[in-house]
Amino acid sequence: MSWHVRVIPNRYADSVRLMAISRAVRRRDGVSRCELGMGTPANLELLGRLGARADASPADLVIAVDADEGTAAEALRYAEQELSSRDGAVSAARARVRSLAAGMRELDGANVALISVPGEYAPLEAHRALSAGLHVFLFSDHVPLEAELELKRRGAELGLLVMGPECGTAMLGGIGLGFANVVRPGPIGIVAAAGTGAQESACLLDAAGVGVSHIIGVGGRDLHPQVGGLMFGHGMRMLAQDEHTETLLLVSKAPSPEGVAAVADHLPHGIRTVAAFVGWDGAEAPFEVHPTLEEGAIAAAGTGSPDISHLEREVDARRAITSGRALLGLYSGGSLAHEATTLLEPDLGPIAGNVGHGPPRADGGHSLFDLGEAEYTEGRPHPMVDLDLRIGMLERAADDSRTGCVLLDVVLGLAAHPDPAGGLADAVRRAAERAVVVAHVCGTPDDPQDSERQIQTLTAAGAIVAPSNAAAARLALRTLR
């Protein structure tokens, strides 16, 4: 196989669309890898490391396939056709817009701009949106911290939200942005510095029969001392004034003392506030704090924990099938991976991988990986969209007699894979022949993927499916005791 490259001058496509097309091309016979992206220096450098070369500018779109000589040309044509067909899917009644100003003319009354451009251009576009009086949902990554601080200061001064950078989930007035789930309306407003943390919290509330008014994502760095929780505070104040919001649920990985102080400084009066700070060490705080997403959602909803005794009995029965004693965690959601690790390490000790306190790799020991981190997503789609990486790792686990338990999340949502359980089922079935497979579906029955159908598919493949990520971690721990 060899690399074949095509450059389309002055053509832009957003990253979500490019990921979907890349996945479709890679599934064709004779194609080993496909990369689609704008011709930014970072993308061209990545292609160079892979062995491909492209002469392109940041305004050009690059298609690169590593394929057999006989199939490369057809794969490139297919990618171009997919780009054109997806462009054509836009309503003919509405001209394709190429600027913020044109978009505002086409969609009169819009008050939110969703920005997904390379990080070096994102601040300029976000400032333009703020100047136009729009709230900003900033999906882009690689935005300098100084630029984030400047944007958020300006947004706060203008009374506008700057959600992000690297904001993957929000829901405003029932309208989901990014990877958001379809949840019932209700009295709890969420402010989150953790994307899948917000998703898990909202889905647990939905399962408890308690809905969500809004989800304001702020990006993972908002509680950084230099940013000072600017959007956390602005989001809390906005929700405190919202007539449909009665309780605030704050979601984040455990912040630093400076981050906690920033939240406390911005805390609005007259509204109940609950925090789910994953990995919280129990230190005092001037508001109610819980160390897991599950506990935070239960406290906010005022409900009890779901009964998992039947799942515990199933785990006990299945332990007999495996002689392995090692855990393998394969996560697509960073917040979920972090929550699982904080629950597992007190009993299992340091866990290897890119989340826990163990080494990067473990030969036969416990390991857990957040496959959504940059080291795994550079040059390939996010695992919430593309299942190939996890399928390969599950297949290797099925061949390793040392693996006693496989723990994984399946995250649903508006921009997620259309049928993740179906895509993973064969690999789960193989792994379940040798190890106990414990999974959690983060989603709702109203999601496009239908959480109930996803649970049925995983169960039929041999997985034990827990009602929360925290419960899944506890079941995995029970397997290995």
Same fold, 2-88 and 309-480: no
CATH of range 309-480; options 3.40.50.261, 3.40.50.300, 3.30.720.200, 3.50.50.60: 3.40.50.261
Question: CATH code for 100-301?
Answer: 3.40.50.261
- Do residues 477 and 343 lie in contact, with contact meaning Cβ atoms separated by under 8 Å? yes
Question: Any idea what DSSP says for residue 354?
Answer: S
22-46 confidence digits (pLDDT tens): 878 988 889 988 899 888 887 888 8
With beta carbons less than 8 A apart as the criterion, state whether 165 and 136 touch: no
Residues in the chain: 481
Give residue 92's pLDDT band: very low, low, confident or very high (50, 70, 90): very low
Q: How far is CA 111 from CA 27, 107, 242, 427, 431, in A?
A: 39, 10, 17, 44, 47
DSSP letters spanning 288-341:
EEESSHHHHHHHHHT-PPPP-HHHHHHHHHHGGG----EEEEEES-HHHHHHHH
Torsion of CA 118, 119, 123, 126, to 10 degrees: 50
Any idea where the domains of the chain sit in the sequence?
Answer: 2-88, 100-301, 309-480
Residues 6+ apart with CB under 8 A from 48: none
Residue 87's pLDDT band (boundaries 50, 70, 90)? low
Cα 311 to Cα 3, 306, 439, 455, 479: the distances in Å are 48, 11, 11, 13, 11
Read off the tokens for 187: 């009295």
d(CA 277, CA 289): 7
What pLDDT, on the 0 to 100 scale, is given for residue 90?
45
Alpha carbons 35 and 21: distance in angstroms, whole number: 9
For domain 2-88, give the CATH superfamily.
GAD-like domain (3.30.1360.30)
Tens-place pLDDT, residues 361-403: 777 799 999 999 988 887 677 899 889 899 999 999 989 999 9
| pTM of the full structure | 0.85
pLDDT band at 103 (very low <50, low <70, confident <90, very high): confident
Instruction: Kindly calculate the radius of gyration of the chain based on its CA atoms and give it in whole angstroms.
Output: 22
In this predicted model, what pLDDT tens digit does every residue of 415-455 receive, in sequence order?
Answer: 899 999 999 999 999 999 999 999 999 999 999 999 999 99
Q: Find residue 353's DSSP bridge partners.
A: 368
Contact 413, 335 (CB under 8 A): no
Give pLDDT, residue 93: 38
94 pLDDT more than 60: no
Provide the strand spans (E) within 2-59.
Answer: 2-8, 31-38
